[in-house]
Amino acid sequence: MKRGNLIDGKGIAGQIKDELKDEIQAWSAESGRRPGLAVILVGEDPASRTYVRGKVQDCEQVGIYSRLIRKPDTIEEEELLFEIHRLNEDPAMDGILVQLPLPDHISSDRIISEIRPEKDVDGFHPINAGRLSTGLKSLLPCTPHGILQMLKRTGISIAGKHAVVVGRSNIVGKPVSLLLQKEDATVTMCHSRTQDLAHYTQQADILVAAVGRLQFITAEHVKPGAVVIDVGMNRTPEGKLAGDVDFESVREQASFITPVPGGVGPMTRAMLLYNTVQSAKERG
């Protein structure tokens, strides 16, 4: 059998950014302002610093005004909340993003739920999660929305397919299951404690691996011809970035597969820009 085709997340993200650049230019000419994104980074975690830098660069590329707010990891929860409340009231800011993870002494749930839902460009606020689960319009979480866009723009049909999602997190597993269901897929949700995982994953036409364990999904989990989406971002013992899927062996079975890096990650970044533009347009 032919090796699976690569789904080019980086390329598709580039297309979306080009589309957004045009959209932002037209909207800014009409409204007299640029969409604005505030990014809050707490502490000095090297990976978080890299991601935040990437977000600021993405904004520059497409014409979004961005403000990076850096705080020491000793900051008190109340002080961080004060900053969120200030940004909630700032008319120049359409989106507020708090880079995760936060230090242990700060409750991410509390911080996220204090962001105004209409400025919650991560789509993590309980109001946005609730609206998604009841089928109402909302800001969608970036990684799940990015996965959906990748499938659609690659021409992979979803309706009537059996999608199996491995992972039940609030930020990927649950919302991606809802989005796939909304597109008329039949969805099965599994997780790290599912017994006989391969029994379920072998039935998947579309398999989404979002379990956060290095190379957890192997060829024996995959039906020949399946579409495999790898959300994992793990480090190998050699320090290389690798996903939840054992890429080389699974590629032999799959019809389409996302690489890590270059798959879901760049789509997450692109959909953050998309949400910021949506938020700006809604707010006027």
Ligand X SMILES: Nc1nc2c(c(=O)[nH]1)N[C@@H](CN(C=O)c1ccc(C(=O)N[C@@H](CCC(=O)O)C(=O)O)cc1)CN2
- Which residues contact ligand X (rule: CB under 6 A)? 51, 97-100, 122, 142, 233, 241, 260-262, 265-266, 268-269
Q: Report yes or no: 164 and 200 within 8 Å, Cβ to Cβ.
A: yes
Alpha carbon distance 109, 106 (integer Å):
9
Alpha carbon distance 251, 269 (integer Å):
25
CB of 272: closest distance to ligand X in angstroms?
A: 7
Residue 202 annotated in active site: no
**How far, CA to CA in Å, does 53 sit from each of 63, 196, 236?**
16, 41, 24
CB of 28: closest distance to ligand X in angstroms?
A: 25
**62 vs 233 by CB, closer to ligand X:** 233
Which residue has its beta carbon closest to ligand X? 265
**112 vs 280 by CB, closer to ligand X:** 112
**99 vs 201 by CB, closer to ligand X:** 99
Residue 55 annotated in active site: yes
Lookup result for tokens 């991601």: 51
CB of 254: closest distance to ligand X in angstroms?
A: 18
Question: What contacts 24+ positions apart, CB below 8 Å, involve 67-73?
Answer: 67/36, 67/37, 67/38, 67/39, 67/93, 68/39, 68/41, 69/38, 69/39, 69/40, 69/41, 70/40, 70/41, 70/42, 71/40, 71/41, 71/42, 71/43, 72/42, 72/43, 73/42, 73/43, 73/44, 73/103
**100 vs 219 by CB, closer to ligand X:** 100
From 8, 58, 94, 99, the catalytic residue:
99
Alpha carbon distance 194, 257 (integer Å):
23
Lookup result for tokens 């009231």: 89
Residue 246 annotated in active site: no
From 122, 205, 244, 246, the catalytic residue:
122
CB of 260: closest distance to ligand X in angstroms?
A: 6
Q: Binding site annotation covers 168?
A: yes
Q: Binding site annotation covers 48?
A: no
Q: Report yes or no: 111 and 88 within 8 Å, Cβ to Cβ.
A: no
CB of 56: closest distance to ligand X in angstroms?
A: 12
Annotated binding site for NADP(+): 167-169
Annotated binding site: 167-169
Residues carrying an active site annotation: 55, 99, 122
